[in-house]
Structure 1
Amino acid sequence: MNEYHHVYQCLKDLYPNGPLYVGFSGGLDSTVLLALAARFAREQGRELTALHVHHGLQAAADAWPAHCRQVAASLGVECRVLTVTVATGPRVSLEAAARHARYAALAAELPAGAALLTGHHLDDQAETLLLALKRGAGIAGLAAMPEHKPLGRGVQLRPLLHLSRAELERFAAEQGLNWVEDPSNADNRFDRNFLRNEILPRLLTQWPAFARTVSRSAALCAEQLELAQDLARQDLIGLVNSAGGLSVTDLRSFTLARRNNALRHWLSERGLHLSHSQLAVAWNELALAAEDATPVLEIKGVKLRRYQGHLYVTARESEPVALNTIKPGCWNELAVGRLQLQPVTAGADITMAPEQLHIAFGITGLRGQPAGRHGSRPLKKLWQEYGIPPWQRGRIPLLMHGERLVAALGLFICEEYAANPHQPGWKIEYSAEPEGTGSGE
């Protein structure tokens, strides 16, 4: 069975261990996937669960949860139904809003280390690349859908990407599978439906191998994207300061293509994906502004800034959480990051016990003496020395002993509180929340 071989090989190569989940809409693609995954799970002794997302957008969909439970039960698989609310509005893409709600629900359901299998196939890949061409996308868009990608606490796998819809239909008929037809799939007002119903059939009639050759182009673009990302990571080494700012001076020495590549990668790590024209505007209005200026540019609701020769993406607007008590040996959530104080017998950062300390933000008038330096300085001066932009200073967690500064987390520990190299005490682990905005599929 050729279809099963593809799924078997994909799961064995990409995800040999751990629980499996199938995104099960009840349609043809996911029904075939669930049947193949159920066989794999039986043969390999793997845990498998079907997840059906009920969007509540059309009356016909109200009967689908019961259908999905019945089909899953016939295959010996548990089916969970997740109900979501889809944001709608005059300027909201219903397709995008439903997809966002669906993947948010699926990601939240995945335990750590689990894999979500979705039924995207060869024809879907062709549609995705054609939509990317329509948008004028670069290689990230033309790479279309990867076979695997991170999702929530686990991964998303697409085991059917090398199979066409015709092959799935043939398999479903041979196996006597039943599936639902979504009435909205006939609505050509949606771009993907227009391609699927009107354009792709004509292309496949003229060129039967079209979907497969387009998929090969997407795979080649994915390779080029990986190379571009590797180059960007190398180029960004040493260009990002302790406050997360990107050096404008260093970027100016790059060629245009290399600079755009590095800048695009740096922005994407912060959840911001700009078009070619937006990237040019950001560079011209921020990087090339007068040296003594502190320009701000707002794009997609996110502020880009330049300060002391570096570019910044404004942090999320979540309010920092001060802590009157710090729980030792576990992560303490601060909204701007996470703090953990671990007891160690040597190599401690501080000797003072957590119960004597607290976390505060934005205290004025403090002084500090970073370990290894002579004399204390006002915290305002230290912020300037460390290149901390004004808008970030009130979000840096201050580890306090009464009214005295013990450490500015992520930056320095004060001399009077710093442990000797071989002293027992407490190791400070601080993980700052990345700047920028989150993004989902």
Structure 2
Amino acid sequence: MDLYTEFCRHTAELTPETGLLVAFSGGLDSTVLLALAARLAREQGCAVRAVHIGHGLQAAAEDWPAHCARVAESLGVTCQTIRVQVEQGPRVSLEAAAREARYKALAEVMQPDEILLTGHHLDDQSETLLLALKRGAGVAGLAAMPVRKPFGPGQQWRPLLACSRKQLETFAREQGLSWVEDPSNADDDFDRNFLRNRILPPLLQQWPSFNRTLARSAELCAEQMELALELAEQDLPALLNQAGGLSVNGLQALSLARRHNVLRHWLQQHGMYCSRSQLQAIWQELALARVDAEPEVRLGRRSIRRYQGFLYLPTDGATPHPLTSLSSGEWLHCGVGQLRLSPVTQGADLVVGLEPTRLHIAFQVSGLRARPAGRSGSRPLKKLWQEYGIPPWQRPHIPLLMQGSELVAALGLFVCKDYTPESDQPGWKLEWEPE
């Protein structure tokens, strides 16, 4: 396999306007990557630059920024060094903490018109898959590393993912490239190093195509992951209520695998990832709790709660703040969203007689009663919240459009009958966009 041909195959969609940002550690993989990117830039006229992240974790690394600068200069590329502080939290490995700090720094310096290139290769993919097996991961973990994925303001590409480390080393020696060797790579206390140094060599000696076989399994798992995602996206909308709650009855109607799939997808949409045992705990302790109970399960720093047969993910969110006056035609922010009142000649939401300067936004007004349009009588707001299925923790965040001491509308929920115009009448268009 010609390495440059393979590199060009994975970068064929690039345009001259697209810049390349190479994550440059100075090691073999990123040195080969930078040499390939520099050649592509010369031939196609696109911009390329390198960024070296200094973690400050070992004395040997102090000389690496100067080495990276020299190598980049010899290839006609500028190299920026960024030093980061690695903060290792509880149950977080040093490898994971360093990786998080590294990617955070890369995302901060990446420009919107750039693509981040990283030098992950076929051996890295095998290690990632084996580590996922060790953790007991599902198809998402077994899919290992994708060739492309969203990153920062753009995307991260791994154009060398189908190439072995041996191929990269052969290329580097043929091109006369120099690179640094990380002393920590010899430390088998790190899981990845243990696999790289002790496990994969005998496997490859016994089965030379083992890396490519693992990569094929990862690709198949990635396909299954895409199917699971498509299925979850089909299932989820029908299970959600207006307040974003997930229906317990709707989940019970699904098969176990399909239920876990949509529940996991719902949590991931909110930045929450859980194990299979945690999914089972959520179901047992929340969904199957007594009907009159209001249980809660903690998952990291977040909580999951149940109310009136729906699961919710309460969040502090933005702080609501009242608006003492409104202006016609302007978007106005009240902390939990924004609204706009505009005059219209037909299809109005509010009667024509309202004057925006007499309106204001309030939260948690005690003693209010309301008669939503289409209802036969008024009820206390607390009772209406229960009827609309609004969990107690969300009620303080509902903006109340008021005229004096009278409720005009609960934004996002209803307009009071006295302020609802006849169909196709002029009046005010009420637009509400929640955070």
Q: TM-score, normalised by structure 2?
A: 0.86
Question: Which amino acid is the alignment partner of residue 321 of structure 2?
Answer: A
How far the C-alpha of 1:52 sits from its partner, in A, is: 2.1
Is residue 43 from structure 1 mapped to residue 43 from structure 2 by the alignment? yes
Q: Note if contact 2:16-2:44 (Cα within 8 Å) is conserved in structure 1.
A: no
Which one is further off, 390-399 or 205-214?
390-399
Is the Cα contact below 8 Å between 1:139 and 1:221 reproduced in 2? yes
Q: 1:410-438: CA deviations, max 9, x gaps?
A: 43455666788686966635243xxxxxx
Partner residue in 2 for 1:313: 313
Report the CA distance between 1:360 and its aligned residue. Answer: 4.9
Q: Would you say the 8 A contact 2:18–2:115 is kept in 1?
A: yes
- Partner in structure 2 of residue 384 of structure 1: 386
CA–CA distance in 1 between the matches of 2:363 and 2:2? 60
> Quick one: structure 1 residues 169 and 430, their matched pair in 2 at CA, closer, same or farther if it must change by over 3 Å?
same
Structure 2 letter corresponding to 1:428: E
Q: Would the alpha carbon gap of residues 44 and 246 (structure 1) be closer, same or farther in structure 2, given more than 3 Å must change?
A: same
User: Residue type matched to 1:171 in 2?
Assistant: F
Alignment of 1:30-429 (within 5 A): 30-89=30-89, 91-112=91-112, 114-315=114-315, 317-322=316-321, 324=323, 332=333, 334=335, 338-339=337-338, 341=340, 360-368=362-370, 370=372, 377-398=379-400, 407-413=409-415, 428=431
Q: Report what 1:436 is aligned to.
A: none
Matched, 1:430 2:433: yes
Quote the offset at 1:130 in angstroms: 0.1
Query: Which residues in structure 2 correspond to 1:14-33 (within 5 Å)?
Result: 18-33=18-33
Alpha carbons of structure 1 residues 381 and 48: separation in structure 2 relative to 1, 3 Å: farther
Deviates more, 1:398-407 or 1:117-126: 398-407
Secondary structure of 1:394's aligned partner: helix
Aligned in 2, Cα 1:174/1:392: closer, same or farther, shift over 3 Å? same
Q: Deviations over 1:78-101 (max 9, x none)?
A: 333333221125643111111222
Q: Does the 8 A contact of 2:116 with 2:156 survive in 1?
A: yes
CA deviation map 1:213-234 (0-9, x unaligned): 1000000000011111111221
Q: Is the 8 A contact 2:188 2:194 kept in 1?
A: yes
Structure possessing the higher radius of gyration over alpha carbons: 2
Q: Give the equivalent residue in structure 2 for 1:435.
A: none
Aligned pairs, number: 429
Q: In the superposition, relative to structure 1, how do residues 292 and 8 fare at CA in structure 2: closer, same or farther (>3 Å)?
A: same
Deviates more, 1:217-226 or 1:237-246: 237-246
CA contact (8 A) 1:15 1:115 kept: no
One-letter identity of the residue aligned with 2:395: R
2 CA distance for matches of 1:258 and 1:63? 52
Where 1:179 maps in the other structure, the secondary structure is coil
Worse-matched range after superposition: 217-226 or 149-158: 149-158
Structure 2: tracts of 5 or more residues without a match: none
Question: Any conservation in 1 of the 2:364–2:395 contact (CA below 8 Å)?
Answer: yes
C-alpha distance after superposition, 1:165-218 (max 9, x if no partner): 111111111222222222222211111111111111221111111111100000
Structure 2 counterpart of 1:381, one-letter code:
K
Output the CA distance in 1 between the equivalents of 2:114 and 2:228: 29
Q: Deviations over 1:261-314 (max 9, x none)?
A: 222222222222221111111111111111111111112232111111111223
| Separation in 1, partners of 2:388, 2:213 | 52
State whether residues 16 and 45 of structure 2, in contact with CA within 8 Å, keep that contact through their aligned partners in structure 1: no
CA contact (8 A) 1:18 1:46 kept: yes
CA distance in 2, matches of 1:25, 1:345: 60
Deviates more, 1:107-116 or 1:93-102: 107-116
Instruction: For 2:152 and 2:93, locate their aligned partners in 1 and report how far apart those are by CA, in whole Å.
Output: 23
CA distance in 1, matches of 2:49, 2:428: 46
The one-letter amino acid of 1:173's match is R
Alignment-mate amino acid for residue 64 of structure 1: W
> Secondary structure of 2:189's match?
coil
Task: Tell me which moved more, 250-259 or 317-326.
Answer: 317-326
In structure 2, what residue type is equivalent to 1:6? E
Which segments of 5 or more consecutive residues in structure 1 lack a partner in the other structure? 433-441
Identity of aligned residues (%): 59
How much has 1:103 moved relative to structure 2? 1.8
**Does structure 2 conserve the Cα–Cα contact (< 8 Å) formed by 1:228 and 1:261?**
yes
Bigger Cα displacement from structure 2, 21-30 vs 350-359: 350-359
Name the amino acid aligned to 1:176.
G
